[in-house]
Structure 1
Amino acid sequence: MTENLKLNIKDKFNTELPADPILENSRRQVSKACFSLVKPKLTENPEMLHVSDDMLINLGLTEADSHSEQFLKVFTGNTVLENTHPYAMCYGGHQFGNWAGQLGDGRAINLFEIEHNHTNWAVQLKGAGETPYSRTADGLAVLRSSIREYLCSEAMFHLGVPTTRALSLALSGDSVLRDMLYDGNSAYEKGAIVTRVSPSFLRFGSYEILSSRQDVATLKTLVDYTIKHHFSHLGVPSKESYIQFFAEVSQRTLEMIIHWQRVGFVHGVMNTDNMSILGLTIDYGPYGWLEDFDFGWTPNTTDSQHKRYRYGNQPNMGLWNLYQLANALYPLIEDAKPLEAVLDAYKTDFEVESLNMMRSKLGLQREEDSDQKLMQDLEDNLQLSETDMTIFFRNLSQFTKDNHAEGLKVVADAFYVPNEISSEIRQKWNIWFQLYAKRLETETLSDSERKELMNAVNPKYVLRNYMSQLAIDDADKGNYDLIDELFQLLKKPYSEQPKYEKWFAKRPDWARHKVGCSMLSCSS
């Protein structure tokens, strides 16, 4: 007997927006449409590896549901629920600064939308087969990239970073051919499917593709739809509400990137097709976490020469992408000044919010004119030697203003090569700790109160690349226990969790240059 999942399906995207009239699943340019209907590929021998209990609840499902045959079939693409119409979205994008034309959901298939507890969730499978937008690719995904996406999207949520979510991780039972490093050495890997969940998967490129084709009618339809369902507080569509819409997208984008900088997350491929219109972290590909505090680091092998998407440039890339969105929306507004005002505000607001974020990391509540220099000196010092960002800021909460001479001892575990700390570097740090102690004297919090505040914004545990790689290596051997261990650990990234203390450690030496632990390709 097949158990029936009780889902409150309320499709909007594929019922209110124009569809591609061609039903054939062939690679093609799709015009005057926001999506193409397409069914997932049947898999050989699907196996559910992990399910997020949080997302089960959000979708109105139970743990018992997650063990059912229908759950397995639906969330691996082997069953299409009655009265649902899966589809792939049409969008374009700027990739590494160049207009790439039509891109679209090349390996994502949207199943349906669920409404539960007054919240709308779009549910899609990543790695469920080819679509009209797959170009030369197969539309499939491998286990290593799927583990990384599944773990990271949920980890980011618990860090307090705006993000898409993940419901489940499954093996397809099929083998998938991949050239992991794009060096001509292709090999078969385990195929996998992630169920991704978000209020919407609309991205900047969804609007860019329509504007680039001068399809203003469909552009207006899509923007009006977006405001109606995701920015309804802006009121009825009008030139003014379009401007307010852009302003809010800009603000959400800024807030998202501030959070990235706070926890040391580097997206790795901030193309406009990877920028959520809701200001959510989307499309977890060659991402990475700062081990060494380095503004110039990028995890993406494709970006290793120009470092366009390096950690320190993410705020600028957010602005650059917003410029492209402004250009796309211009035909509906036909006035550059209000759009330019929003972009100018992003620059100003980012300076203010970035400084406030750094204050929070140092446990400072008041604003002082000297703070800008205090932060600049700190960032300069962090780059004098290889210094682990997560460990440094977490341990800094143990610093006390009455004992600033011990500052270096407090953060000593963060240094990768302790003998790099020369007398000159030591002196610079001691000067900084003196200034920090003096600054703390202007605050009213006790040391214990400040420690609590700092530990609420400086995580103890993040998903370092080597941790993901260990889970991937085990999974390749058929052992999936580490996926669950990391999943549980990352639910409480700000808590001490003594039983997981081994994960509060610097990247091991063996992982420094290992594939998957340092640089990753876009196929990762």
Structure 2
Amino acid sequence: MKLKINNRFSTELPADTDETNDTRQVKNACFSYVTPRIPSKPTLIHFSEEVAAMLGISTEETKSAEFTNVFSGKEILPDSRPYSMSYAGHQFGNWAGQLGDGRAIILAEIERQKQVYTLQLKGAGMTPYSRRADGLAVLRSSIREHLCSEAMFHLGVPTTRSLSLILTGDQVLRDVMYDGNPAYEKGAVVCRVAPSFIRFGNFELFSSQNDLKTLKTLADFTIKYHFPEIKENTPTSYVDFFQAVANKTREMIVHWQRVGFVHGVMNTDNMSILGLTIDYGPYGWLEDYNPNWTPNTTDRENRRYRFGNQAEIALWNLYQLANALYPLIKEAAPLESILQVFQAQYESDYLNMMRNKLGLSKAEEQDNQLIHILTENLQLTETDMTIFFRKLSLIKKEDAVEDAFELVKESFYKIEEVAEKTEDSWMYWFTQYLNRLQQESSSDTDRKVAMDKVNPKYVLRNYMSQLAIEAAEKEDYSLIEELHLLLKNPYQEQDEYQKWFAKRPDWAREKIGSSMLSCSS
């Protein structure tokens, strides 16, 4: 493989003077040089052809021992020095101090066709930021990250990508449910790809340490390479930077709400400065439309990171970033103004997004109420979000209310509950919706095409991932490939995969890995 190394981050920003992998507190440094752990028997089990091509790696090269060795951590790319980033963060609303890349190691930044990509291994061993952990990852979580990264990209959601999924040949001890019953699992490494892995927490760290020199250096670096539209070294540079981050964050959250994605761990150290979905841990998609659902067992009691709270958490996290950047700006007013506008802008963006999901091409005053009643109705009985919105595009303007309702019946888990308790509420809503469609100038056909572009038919439901994991544990990787191919075209009908357009099966309702998940990986 011939990759053009362009290590801007580690060349231009201050490094930790200690070059061991020993865990420690790191001062005045954006990163620490580290050495990946050498796996005993790395075996490639899946890769993304698209991501490989994006990086200039041919299909033939992915079959080589060099590819497997490099992207498992066994070999180092020529002219590169792996490192892990230093950052802090708020976890579940509490200040956690220094965190950093505890199990992530950046192999290199590479340049191709005037684009720079950061290649990062997740699960390649201890770093100075591993704290009491081993820096490793297990197969189950690695499959989930690999599949979800690519699934989100093809859904049109800003995200990091995944190049490869490699077994290490080593066993990793994990307590899946934190209940005192640890067990050995297969170890694995994922190679994640993004323009940058800089997070809110990178800025929080230096601000908390009152290291304003490094804070400024990092901010200037980020603006120079990732926000080139911002003019550097002006009185408003850092304000403009914060505004851009707020905009990208808001856009990302709107996409999450559009497809029913719940991140599960929206700590500030898991928030990308580029508005990318990052760090796929206990994530999930809504099965039934439930704004109070969180996929994270650690969050089960307080549900801080529930689906309906993601925009508020994004705003809370932006407040922490504003606090971190304040020493560079020395004025609160411009930051406060951006934060105050965020909620109104989000509500406007959310309204337009929901209009698109409903096939409404122009804004009308009654739309807010129409959407409010819909989201209330969706909670009256278990209703599959993905199936409901996908089926909605089949409705025609001239349909009778009863016929329109019939088209979405498949989305209800217990249709008898609808008949007994909530049918009147649904008939009222469909009456209002059909009346609203009469105000639209577009044809039924054009509206269906538009709706099917924003309402996916297929998403990576947790039970689907769990099936792929259970097969992979038996060395059957065919389901990983099937889901990977399916999710490359989530808005297409794909009749050959119709079995995946289905509600969560009963067996998956409470099963570990198919409903809620822990942070253990």
TM tier, shorter chain? over 0.9
Paired residue for 1:438, among 426, 435, 450? 435
C-alpha deviation, 1:8, in angstroms? 1.2
Of stretches 236-245 and 302-311 in structure 1, the one that deviates more from structure 2 is 236-245
C-alpha deviation, 1:241, in angstroms? 1.1
Letter in 2 for 1:502: K
SS state of the match for residue 22, structure 1? coil
Cα pair 1:55 1:167 within 8 Å, conserved: yes
- 1:452 paired residue number: 449
C-alpha deviation, 1:236, in angstroms? 1.4
- 2:412 paired residue number: 415
Cα pair 1:319 1:343 within 8 Å, conserved: yes
SS state of the match for residue 398, structure 2? helix
- 1:256 paired residue number: 252
Equivalent-residue separation in structure 2 for 1:423 and 1:273 (angstroms) = 47
Paired residue for 2:481, among 480, 484, 505? 484
C-alpha deviation, 1:424, in angstroms? 4.1
Equivalent-residue separation in structure 2 for 1:80 and 1:97 (angstroms) = 38
Paired residue for 1:127, among 115, 123, 130? 123
1:194-205 correspondence runs (5 A): 194-205=190-201
Equivalent-residue separation in structure 2 for 1:160 and 1:389 (angstroms) = 18
- 1:370 paired residue number: 366
Paired residue for 1:118, among 114, 118, 124? 114
Equivalent-residue separation in structure 2 for 1:378 and 1:454 (angstroms) = 16
Cα pair 2:463 2:504 within 8 Å, conserved: yes
TM-score by length of 1: 0.99
Cα pair 1:17 1:222 within 8 Å, conserved: yes
Equivalent-residue separation in structure 2 for 1:182 and 1:239 (angstroms) = 49
After superposition, what is the alpha-carbon deviation per residue over 1:72-98, rounded to whole angstroms, capped at 9, x for unaligned?
A: 110000001222010000000000000
Cα pair 1:239 1:332 within 8 Å, conserved: no
Paired residue for 1:189, among 182, 185, 189? 185
Paired residue for 2:99, among 97, 103, 110? 103
- 1:517 paired residue number: 514
C-alpha deviation, 1:423, in angstroms? 4.2
Paired residue for 2:3, among 7, 11, 31? 7
Letter in 2 for 1:356: N
1:227-246 correspondence runs (5 A): 227-246=223-242
Cα pair 1:405 1:434 within 8 Å, conserved: no
Cα pair 2:5 2:79 within 8 Å, conserved: no
- 1:429 paired residue number: 426
- 1:57 paired residue number: 53
- 1:156 paired residue number: 152
Equivalent-residue separation in structure 2 for 1:50 and 1:160 (angstroms) = 22
Letter in 1 for 2:216: K
SS state of the match for residue 422, structure 1? helix
C-alpha deviation, 1:113, in angstroms? 0.6
1:390 aligns to 2:386 (yes or no): yes
Cα pair 2:297 2:517 within 8 Å, conserved: yes
1:162-177 correspondence runs (5 A): 162-177=158-173
Of stretches 228-237 and 250-259 in structure 1, the one that deviates more from structure 2 is 228-237
After superposition, what is the alpha-carbon deviation per residue over 1:470-505, rounded to whole angstroms, capped at 9, x for unaligned?
A: 000000011010000000000000000010000000
Letter in 2 for 1:486: L
Equivalent-residue separation in structure 2 for 1:408 and 1:174 (angstroms) = 53
Equivalent-residue separation in structure 1 for 2:403 and 2:293 (angstroms) = 30
1:260-339 correspondence runs (5 A): 260-339=256-335
Equivalent-residue separation in structure 2 for 1:51 and 1:350 (angstroms) = 36
Equivalent-residue separation in structure 1 for 2:515 and 2:315 (angstroms) = 27
1:361 aligns to 2:381 (yes or no): no
C-alpha deviation, 1:119, in angstroms? 1.1
Cα pair 2:392 2:408 within 8 Å, conserved: yes
Equivalent-residue separation in structure 2 for 1:96 and 1:49 (angstroms) = 34
After superposition, what is the alpha-carbon deviation per residue over 1:92-122, rounded to whole angstroms, capped at 9, x for unaligned?
A: 0000000000000000000001111221100
Query: Which structure 1 residue ranges, 5 or more long, are not aligned?
Result: none
C-alpha deviation, 1:237, in angstroms? 2.7
Equivalent-residue separation in structure 2 for 1:308 and 1:414 (angstroms) = 27
After superposition, what is the alpha-carbon deviation per residue over 1:173-216, rounded to whole angstroms, capped at 9, x for unaligned?
A: 00000000000010000000000000000000000000001000
C-alpha deviation, 1:232, in angstroms? 1.1
After superposition, what is the alpha-carbon deviation per residue over 1:379-413, rounded to whole angstroms, capped at 9, x for unaligned?
A: 00000000000000000100112113212211001
SS state of the match for residue 141, structure 1? coil
C-alpha deviation, 1:239, in angstroms? 3.0
1:33 aligns to 2:29 (yes or no): yes
- 2:217 paired residue number: 221
Query: Which structure 2 residue ranges, 5 or more long, are not aligned?
Result: none
Equivalent-residue separation in structure 2 for 1:421 and 1:407 (angstroms) = 15
Cα pair 1:227 1:237 within 8 Å, conserved: no
Equivalent-residue separation in structure 2 for 1:245 and 1:281 (angstroms) = 19
SS state of the match for residue 115, structure 1? strand
Q: CA RMSD in A?
A: 0.7
Equivalent-residue separation in structure 1 for 2:421 and 2:94 (angstroms) = 44
Equivalent-residue separation in structure 1 for 2:292 and 2:155 (angstroms) = 23
C-alpha deviation, 1:467, in angstroms? 0.1
Of stretches 424-433 and 96-105 in structure 1, the one that deviates more from structure 2 is 424-433
After superposition, what is the alpha-carbon deviation per residue over 1:430-463, rounded to whole angstroms, capped at 9, x for unaligned?
A: 1101100110111111111111100000000000
After superposition, what is the alpha-carbon deviation per residue over 1:122-153, rounded to whole angstroms, capped at 9, x for unaligned?
A: 00100000000000000000000000000000
Paired residue for 2:503, among 506, 509, 522? 506
Cα pair 1:47 1:170 within 8 Å, conserved: yes
Equivalent-residue separation in structure 2 for 1:77 and 1:286 (angstroms) = 25
Equivalent-residue separation in structure 1 for 2:85 and 2:4 (angstroms) = 22
C-alpha deviation, 1:238, in angstroms? 2.8
Paired residue for 2:133, among 124, 137, 143? 137
- 1:82 paired residue number: 78
Equivalent-residue separation in structure 1 for 2:404 and 2:38 (angstroms) = 59
1:341 aligns to 2:323 (yes or no): no
- 2:12 paired residue number: 16
Equivalent-residue separation in structure 1 for 2:277 and 2:62 (angstroms) = 26
